[in-house]
Amino acid sequence: MAPSRALIIGITGQDGSYLAEFLLARGYQVHGVIRRASSFNTARLDHLYRDHHDLDPTAPGLILHHGDLTDGSGLRRLLNTVKPHEIYNLGAQSHVRVSFDQAEYTADVVAQGTLRLLEAVRDYQQATGDQARLYQAGSSEMFGAAPAPQSEATAFYPRSPYAVAKVAAHWYAVNYRESYDLFVANGILFNHESPRRGETFVTRKISRAVGRIVHGLQDKLYLCNLEAVRDWGFAGDYVEAMWRMLRHGRADDFVIATGSGHSVRQFLELAFGRVGRDYRDFVAFDPRFLRPAEVNRLEGDARRAADALGWRPKVSFAELVAMMVDSDLDLAARELSLRDNGHAAVHVG
Residues identified as active-site: 139, 141, 162
Return the number of the residue (7 or 132) whose C-beta is nearest ligand NAP: 7
Q: Shortest approach of ligand GDD to residue 228 CB, angstroms? A: 3
The entry of ligand GDD, ligand NAP, none near residue 224 (CB within 5 to 8 angstroms by kind) is: ligand GDD
Return the number of the residue (9 or 332) whose C-beta is nearest ligand NAP: 9
The entry of ligand NAP, ligand GDD, none near residue 68 (CB within 5 to 8 angstroms by kind) is: ligand NAP
The entry of ligand NAP, ligand GDD, none near residue 289 (CB within 5 to 8 angstroms by kind) is: ligand GDD
Return the number of the residue (105 or 201) whose C-beta is nearest ligand GDD: 201
d(CA 238, CA 312): 9
Return the number of the residue (13 or 144) whose C-beta is nearest ligand NAP: 13
List interacting residues with ligand GDD (CB under 6 A): 94, 96-97, 139-141, 190-191, 200-202, 205, 223-225, 228, 230, 264, 289, 291, 294-295, 298
Q: Shortest approach of ligand NAP to residue 105 CB, angstroms? A: 9
- Residue showing the smallest CB distance to ligand NAP in the complex: 13
Return the number of the residue (12 or 125) whose C-beta is nearest ligand NAP: 12
The answer for residues whose C-beta is within 8 angstroms of residue 290's C-beta and 6 or more apart is 224, 225
The entry of ligand NAP, ligand GDD, none near residue 23 (CB within 5 to 8 angstroms by kind) is: none
The entry of ligand NAP, ligand GDD, none near residue 109 (CB within 5 to 8 angstroms by kind) is: ligand NAP
Angle between helices 202-214 and 264-273 (to 10 degrees): 30
List interacting residues with ligand NAP (CB under 6 A): 9-10, 12-16, 35, 41, 68-70, 90-94, 109, 113, 137, 139, 189, 191-192, 198
Q: Shortest approach of ligand GDD to residue 201 CB, angstroms? A: 4
Q: Shortest approach of ligand NAP to residue 35 CB, angstroms? A: 4
d(CA 38, CA 123): 33
